[in-house]
Amino acid sequence: MTPAPEMTARELLDFYLEAGVDALVGEEAVDRFAAVDQPAPAARASLPAAAKADMVRPAPTLQPAAPQAPDEAIMAAREAARTAASLDELRAILEKFEGCALKGSATRMVFADGNPAAKVMLVGEAPGRDEDIEGLPFVGRSGKLLDRMLAAIGLDRTSVYIANVVPWRPPGNRTPTPQETQICLPFITRQIELADPDILVCLGGPSAQTLLNIKDGITKTRGRWFTFNSGKRDIRAIPTFHPAFLLRSPLQKRFAWRDMLSVKKALSE
Ligand code: URA
């Protein structure tokens, strides 16, 4: 997608916004298509004719590493996640993992926030723009609402652990593809196993469907208790509405409030 040359700066910005570009990652634009190792213009003038002729040839195409087939990437993710003996090791392994293409477009990985020893772990779907910039989950508008929901039952980020199914922001905040989700699943599963919370809160339908392996949508499943088998033990799990949904549909907050009360009650049992 190339913008037309006669566009004004304003039109150009609108074009980029519509194309899903909503964050700057550097002060200077980098022309990645420019020929590699081209001498500066002054040096070019003094080059012999044969060398100049070489330079008008198209730049060699940079060959990206062949993307891994999804099945292979899922197997590699399982293998890699299994070897992590601690959350720190898991984070380091995930930083090096190349099997998920989202890593290439994200600014940084968003691993977790909060207290890994907490009794409650909350898992969202994937980072958004603010999370991608800060490298922490739920720090944008929906994160602020999540903080208020937690405060309503006496919790905060020192008493919960927060992560996402997918640790890299999908471009333009699109929904992660089923393949991307499946590739990331072994990592979040291992993260839950290592954190070993007593209660798992799935924030939104995609998180609940992926982690609890269920098909029903969030309206049917929210507020119901499920079991998440971490491989180590059964953990009580409850889906609730995603805070981003609650921002769009504030009337639904009363149901999320009930779910938070269920979490509070379960904590006291
Ligand atoms: N939505 C999510 O699912 N996760 C975040 O971290 C932020 C928004």
Give residue-wise pLDDT tens across range 48-71.
555 555 455 555 455 555 667 888
Compare 61 and 144 and report the one with higher pLDDT.
144
Predicted confidence (pLDDT) per residue in 207-237, tens digit: 999 999 999 999 999 999 999 999 989 999 9
pLDDT of residue 8: 78
For residue 13, the model assigns a pLDDT of 75
Supply the DSSP symbol for 156. -
Q: What angle do CA 115, 81, 140 make, to 5 degrees?
A: 45
Is the pLDDT reported for residue 7 higher than 80? no
- pLDDT band, residue 28 (cuts 50/70/90): confident
Domains and CATH numbers, the chain: 70-268 (3.40.470.10)
CA distance 81 to 190: 6
Amino acid identity, position 32: R
**Cβ–Cβ under 8 Å, residues 130 and 140:** yes
| Span from the CA of 173 to the centroid of ligand 1 (angstroms) | 10
Report d(CA 185, CA 17) in Å as an integer.
30
124 Cα–ligand 1 center, Å: 5
The predicted pLDDT at position 23 comes to 63
pLDDT confidence band for 19 (50 / 70 / 90): low
Residue 233 near residue 199, CB atoms below 8 Å: no
Q: Does pLDDT of 176 surpass 80? A: yes
Residue of 108, 129, 138 with the most ligand 1 atoms within 8 Å of its CB, for mutation: 138
* Residue among 102, 113, 125, 166 whose CB has most ligand 1 atoms within 8 A, to mutate: 125
Tell me the average pLDDT of the chain: 88
Residue 68's pLDDT is: 78
Residue 160: predicted pLDDT: 98
Q: Return the pLDDT at 15.
A: 73
